[in-house]
Amino acid sequence: MATTGHKRNKKVREDERTANGSDWNDCTFKLIAQIDTTNHQSIDFVNDTNYAEHIDIRCGNQVFNSRFTASGKLGIGTTSPQKLLDVNGDVRVKRNIYGADGN
């Protein structure tokens, strides 16, 4: 049976773990999609130097996209969300947005 098309070098799973201290501060566990030698999307589980935990989403050649903080805040286009949802950019809504009073 013959096949046609492009042959791909697929890497199913790659993980990277870094730890610069003697404990879990300043370390990252990274799940990354790699095609050939190019790193594309990743999900980074991070404990920074201040022990602040967060999850970063990076897309297309490792460009930062979104951050989920340990306190439950989501930042889209920002690494330091100040509210539950913090968007740095335009937002498109196809339906209604309601306030706490239902309006």
The pTM of this model reads 0.67
Higher pLDDT, 98 or 15: 98
Q: What is the pLDDT of residue 37?
A: 77
pLDDT at 67: 95
* CA-closest candidate to residue 6, choices 36, 32, 41: 36
**Mean pLDDT score, 72-100:** 92
Q: Is 56:43 a contact under the CB 8 Å cutoff?
A: yes
pLDDT of 46-73, one tens digit each?
A: 888 777 899 999 988 888 999 999 999 9
What confidence score (pLDDT) does residue 24 get? Answer: 67
Residue ranges per domain, the chain?
15-79
Contact 41, 54 (CB under 8 A): no
User: Which tens digit of pLDDT belongs to each residue from 11-28?
Assistant: 444 555 555 555 667 788
Instruction: Let me know: does 88 contact 75? Beta carbons within 8 Å.
Output: yes
